[in-house]
């Protein structure tokens, strides 16, 4: 006699011992969760924002009020549109974000050679060409921009998000390949920008041009007095950059004769958390938030 025939209540057995069965409580709950999640994603307009930097490409998908997913990959100018499509498609497939539900795309790039590749890639992947942030759009933004053909579109996005969210006067310090200080006045006018080498850029320059200094983790050392090579480099870079940041904020406030709200963003901003004393706000998604605001504002 088959062993299954010995079970008196086969439906109860299947329901209890096979939790993914649709009749089981777990299976029923999973089915409801999947339906609810699909419904949320299906009926919510989603936007894909992409910020192409010199070192990293940061991109995210947002609904109306929140980021559903944010990714960070290395910038590689040698990659083709097809190669970037493979990367984007695989990351989308690994997440809960359905490509077909993305209704809008906005692109900022400080790497001109990648703009064409991304236009081709996004047209193939999504069936639409992205909104490219460029100077012709600036008069419609809430911030006034000096030298629109010289300032990076990432800094425009930073300034837009900072002014809309925190008001002016404020300063955005973006920790990327370059360390940038963008100051915005009370009325939203960008008053000026300062640029220095970024933390990792400085580290690469130091280790690449010396015979006995090697790469180290970018964290604050236990003391400003480095007692070994690693701590000595960390002291000079991390604590030295903290001094640079604090000094630039102080000098700007003295020149303007007013206090600023100081916002830090960028991939390495967290390195100076609790080290640079003048930073008040750490907003890691500020650039993407600015790009989303620009796209939404221009779409009105």
On whether both 37 and 112 belong to a single domain, the answer is no
On whether both 263 and 148 belong to a single domain, the answer is yes
On whether both 140 and 249 belong to a single domain, the answer is yes
Which residue, 185, 194, 197, is CA-closest to 155? 194
Which residue, 240, 150, 212, 166, is CA-closest to 158? 166
DSSP secondary structure of 267-298: TTGGGGTTTSTT--EE-TTHHHHHHHHHHHHH
> Domain of 270?
135-298
On whether both 157 and 261 belong to a single domain, the answer is yes
The band of 251, judged by pLDDT with boundaries at 50, 70 and 90, is very high
**What pLDDT was estimated at residue 227?**
92
Among 81, 104, 132, residue at a domain's last position:
132
Q: Between residues 22 and 90, which one has the greater pLDDT?
A: 90
Q: Residue range 178-206: average pLDDT? A: 95
On whether both 142 and 29 belong to a single domain, the answer is no
Domain tally, the chain: 3
**What pLDDT was estimated at residue 63?**
85
Q: Between residues 3 and 126, which one has the greater pLDDT?
A: 126
The yes-or-no verdict on residue 236 having pLDDT over 70 is yes
Q: Residue range 1-21: average pLDDT? A: 49
Q: Residue range 160-168: average pLDDT? A: 96
The band of 13, judged by pLDDT with boundaries at 50, 70 and 90, is very low
On whether both 251 and 173 belong to a single domain, the answer is yes
pTM of this prediction exceeds 0.95? no
On whether both 261 and 147 belong to a single domain, the answer is yes
**What pLDDT was estimated at residue 17?**
46
CATH number of the domain to which 69 belongs: 3.30.420.40
**What pLDDT was estimated at residue 34?**
45
Q: What is the pLDDT of residues 109-160, one digit of tens each?
A: 999 999 999 999 999 999 989 999 999 999 999 999 988 999 999 999 999 9
Which residue, 206, 209, 238, is CA-closest to 221? 238
**What pLDDT was estimated at residue 11?**
55
Q: Which of 81-85, 125-129, 187-191, 207-211 has the lowest mean pLDDT?
A: 207-211
Tokens at residue 150, please? 């010289």
**What pLDDT was estimated at residue 104?**
92
Among 84, 111, 132, residue at a domain's last position:
132
The band of 2, judged by pLDDT with boundaries at 50, 70 and 90, is very low
Residue with tokens 């790469």: 215
**What pLDDT was estimated at residue 8?**
53
The yes-or-no verdict on residue 14 having pLDDT over 50 is no
Among 102, 132, 162, residue at a domain's last position:
132
On whether both 89 and 213 belong to a single domain, the answer is no
Q: Residue range 154-181: average pLDDT? A: 96
Q: How far is CA 120 from CA 80, 85, 101, in A?
A: 10, 9, 19
The band of 291, judged by pLDDT with boundaries at 50, 70 and 90, is very high
The band of 35, judged by pLDDT with boundaries at 50, 70 and 90, is very low
Q: Where are the beta strands (DSSP E) in the chain?
A: 46-52, 56-62, 67-74, 102-109, 131-132, 170-175, 178-184, 190-197, 261-265, 281-282
Query: Roughly how many angstroms between the first and final C-alpha of the chain, as a whole number?
Result: 72
The yes-or-no verdict on residue 89 having pLDDT over 70 is yes
The band of 39, judged by pLDDT with boundaries at 50, 70 and 90, is very low
On whether both 146 and 215 belong to a single domain, the answer is yes
On whether both 248 and 274 belong to a single domain, the answer is yes
On whether both 229 and 269 belong to a single domain, the answer is yes
DSSP structure class, residue 189 = B
Tokens at residue 290, please? 């600015």
Q: Where are the beta strands (DSSP E) in 186-300?
A: 190-197, 261-265, 281-282
Q: 48 phi and psi, to 5 degrees?
A: -105, 120
**What pLDDT was estimated at residue 38?**
45
Q: Residue range 79-90: average pLDDT? A: 95
On whether both 144 and 173 belong to a single domain, the answer is yes
Catalytic residues: 154
The yes-or-no verdict on residue 223 having pLDDT over 80 is yes
């Amino acid at each position: 006699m088959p062993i299954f025939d010995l079970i008196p209540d086969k439906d109860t057995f299947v329901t209890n011992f096979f939790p993914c069965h649709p009749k089981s409580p777990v299976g029923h709950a999973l089915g409801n969760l999947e339906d609810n999640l699909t419904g949320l994603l299906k009926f919510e307009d989603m936007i894909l924002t992409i910020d192409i930097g010199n070192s990293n490409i940061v991109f995210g998908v947002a609904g109306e009020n929140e980021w559903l997913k944010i990714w960070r990959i290395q910038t590689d100018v040698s990659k083709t549109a097809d190669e970037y499509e493979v990367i984007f498609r695989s990351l989308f497939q690994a997440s809960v974000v359905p490509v077909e539900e993305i209704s809008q795309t906005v692109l900022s790039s400080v790497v001109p050679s990648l703009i064409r590749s991304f236009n081709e890639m996004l047209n193939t992947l999504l069936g639409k060409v992205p909104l490219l942030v460029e100077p012709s759009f600036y008069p419609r933004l809430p911030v006034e921009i000096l030298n629109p053909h010289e300032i990076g579109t990432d800094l425009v996005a930073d300034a837009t998000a900072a002014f809309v969210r925190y008001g002016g006067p404020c300063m955005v310090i973006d920790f990327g390949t370059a360390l940038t200080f963008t100051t915005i006045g009370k009325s939203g006018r960008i008053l000026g920008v300062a640029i220095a080498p970024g933390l990792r850029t400085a580290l690469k320059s130091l280790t690449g041009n010396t015979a006995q200094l090697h790469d180290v983790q970018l964290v604050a050392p236990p003391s400003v007095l480095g007692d070994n090579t690693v701590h000595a480099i960390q002291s000079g870079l991390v604590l030295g950059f903290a001094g640079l940041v604090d000094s630039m904020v102080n000098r700007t406030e003295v020149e303007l004769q007013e206090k600023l709200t100081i916002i830090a963003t960028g991939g390495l901003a967290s390195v100076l958390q609790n080290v640079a004393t003048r930073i008040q706000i750490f907003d890691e998604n500020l650039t993407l938030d600015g790009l989303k605001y620009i796209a939404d504002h221009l779409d009105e």
